[in-house]
Chains A and B, each alone.
Chain A
């Protein structure tokens, strides 16, 4: 199975600030995704992180709010910009191989915005 490391594991942030979450995957992963999981809810896809190019965002998510980078195959960052309390959530990095469909998840980053 793939190994996915994510940091920070949790943070408490002030309204209006931005926070960047880092994700490192091992070489078995070719595709990387960022999900949001609000308390007691399902996983909602934010975007697909594309290596060396702009991420592909899902409906309801925009680059200005959630800029994503993926400078190489095994590393990606998600920034949550200009945070508000509504952004309090768990953000999960995930990776997979497109041909199998199975996803491996990082341990998640729990953000609390005050």
Chain B
């Protein structure tokens, strides 16, 4: 089955700095890579996603890059703000896997004011 590894497990940055979280996956059939943000005590929510036919996608301060050959994808957050503090999960999903997503272990991001 799919295996998703996520690094780092914790990340602390100063407000205004950039943050990068990296994930690798094992199943070459995976073709959809979402990122979820989970604030303390709340449900995970999708913040950005990318499909395998695209190398990069941006949404304001958030971007995701995908390297299919190397089987890794990354989340980039620029100009971080304290409200970006949360746990971020990457995931991989394959059409051949009945719509199931395999999640990374999560990264706890702390943005210091």
Where the two chains meet, the residues of A that have a C-beta atom closer than 8 Å to any C-beta of B are: 31, 33, 41-45, 48, 56, 92, 96-108
Contacts and interface: CB of A to CB of B under 8 A. Distances in A.
B103 A42 contact: yes
Contacts of B105: 41-42
Given A41-B105, A101-B32, A103-B34, A96 B42 contact: no
A42 B106 contact: yes
B46 interface: yes
A103 B101 contact: yes
A4 B92 CA distance: 22
B7 to A, nearest CB: 13
Contacts, number: 53
A102 B43 contact: no
Interface residues of B, number: 22
Contacts of B42: 107
Name the residue among B45, B46, B99 with the largest chain A CB count within 10 angstroms.
Answer: B99
Contacts of A99: 95
Contact of A31 (B32, B45, B99, B102): B99
8 contacts: A56-B98, A97-B99, A98-B95, A98-B98, A102-B49, A103-B46, A103-B91, A104-B46
Interface string B74-113: 0000000000000001010101001111111110000000
A108 B43 CA distance: 7
A6 to B, nearest CB: 9
B44 interface: yes
The 6 closest A-B pairs by CB, nearest first: A98-B99, A101-B32, A101-B93, A105-B43, A43-B103, A42-B105
A33 B34 CA distance: 16
